[in-house]
Amino acid sequence: MAYVLNCFHLGKPKQTLWALLPAVALAVTVPNRRVPQRAVPITYTLTMAAKTGDTIRGKTLTGFKLPSSGPNASAINASENVAFYATYSQGDLVGEGIFTATSSVLKSGDVFSGQTVEGISFVPALNDRGAVAVRCLFSSQQSAILASNALIAKTGDTIGGQILTSVGLPAINNNGTVAFVGSFSTGTGVFTQKAVLARSDDLVAGKAPTSFGPPAINDRGTVAFQSWFSGKIATAIVTPTGLLVKTGDTIAGKTLIDLFFGPTLNSSGVVAFVGVFSGGTGIFTQRDLLLQAGDTIGGQTLTSFGYPVISDSGIVAFFATYPGGEGIFTQTALIVKTGDTVCGRTLIGVGQPSISKAGTVAFTALFSDRSSAIVLARPNN
């Protein structure tokens, strides 16, 4: 086994919509492929950061977003603090909110700038300073992005001369810059709270985009996002000024015919994504093919992938299926799979992982007793 179980809750951290994007389920069997030589697998210690039945600031957690292989269902930072969506009860009241292991960050009914929070996205973003960014819906039916209890942007705001008509899922870096996709009257764009970085009515990396996926942002301020183009290039992962990878590129002998971006971007500017090529699918960076369907990791032959996430050291974690089950993997190790026992509970489902800069992985776990938890997998070596 590639993990060690430690059944305890995390202590005090070191520092203090409504639907996810569709899952990537690309089942491809690749016969007669050699098994690649890989490094010695990293082993992991599993702990529960939070579970159903826990009480955080008077609110008893009743459930997490059901496991999904869509983009990051929870968020983790360098201090191994996690932020996550959960439903809760408090006396006769029920609600939803964004939590950390020790605090309630945002909940339905909260008021910001005279607006009442009516709906909350399942997907928070978290930086190393503990700032949580999340998309929400106000009772006025305006969509908004909040970060550190401050209003970052809302529909009706003007940024870079464009009046926002919608806002998407946010990403946040350690400088507090928030990036997101927004719509305006004549198209869509990638925004920060101060500027428009890319627009569908302008050229991006010299090409005419038709739409954008959610962005990632690192501490250097690099913003990467998926863009779909008219013409011969179907889709690409780009920055506002450059092209990182596109359909038609050949990586490790595989020519991409499609790609799916989570999004994830490390401090060195490396992205990880699911790539489709003739006869198969795989987990790629813009430099390498890490593995493909038909490869065996931890004794399991992988058949499909969720969106991958990447650490600063290049460890890539991802949801994957295999005949008879599913689990969380890296390019060298099986972290956990359905049927495993985690702190005395039988695992029956796992969600999309997130990863810290150092390689600690967080994911939602669903158990056979109908309980669920946010689980951390810490690398041992």
Reported as a single tens digit per residue, the pLDDT across 238-284 is: 999 899 999 999 999 999 999 999 999 999 999 999 999 999 999 99
Do residues 207 and 233 touch, judged by C-beta distance below 8 A?
A: yes
Coil/strand/helix, residue 92: coil
Stretch among 122-126, 232-236, 310-314 having the lowest mean pLDDT: 232-236
> Please, which residues have CB within 8 angstroms of residue 316's CB and are 6 or more apart in sequence?
272, 283, 285, 290, 308, 309, 310, 330, 331
Confidence of residue 34 (pLDDT cuts 50, 70, 90): very low
> What's the average model confidence in pLDDT over 65-74?
72
Beta strands in 52-140 (DSSP E): 55-56, 59-64, 74-76, 82-90, 93-99, 104-107, 111-112, 115-120, 125-126, 132-138
Where do the structural domains in the chain lie, given as residue ranges?
3-10+23-379
Class of domain 3-10+23-379: mainly beta
Q: Please answer whether residues 378 and 330 qualify as being in contact, where contact means their C-beta atoms are separated by less than 8 angstroms.
A: no
Which residues make Cβ contacts (< 8 Å) with residue 207, sequence separation at least 6?
A: 227, 229, 231, 233, 236, 243
- pLDDT, residue 68, reads 66
User: What is the structure's pLDDT at 72?
Assistant: 64
**In the predicted model, is pLDDT for residue 4 greater than 80?**
no
Burial of 13 (C-beta count, 10 Å sphere; 0-12/13-18/19+): middle
E strand or H helix at 376? strand 372-379
> Are 307 and 261 a contacting pair, CB within 8 Å?
yes
Contact 180, 125 (CB under 8 A): no
Maximum alpha-carbon separation in the chain: 62
Fill in the DSSP letter of residue 213: P
Q: Tell me: the pLDDT tens digits for 208-242? A: 899 999 999 999 999 999 999 987 788 999 999 89
The residue type of 133 is A
Whose structure tokens read 């190790």?
Answer: 333
Question: With 50 as the cut, is the pLDDT of residue 81 above it?
Answer: yes
Tell me what the mean pLDDT of segment 146-164 comes to: 95
Pairwise CA distance, residues 277 & 248, whole Å: 9
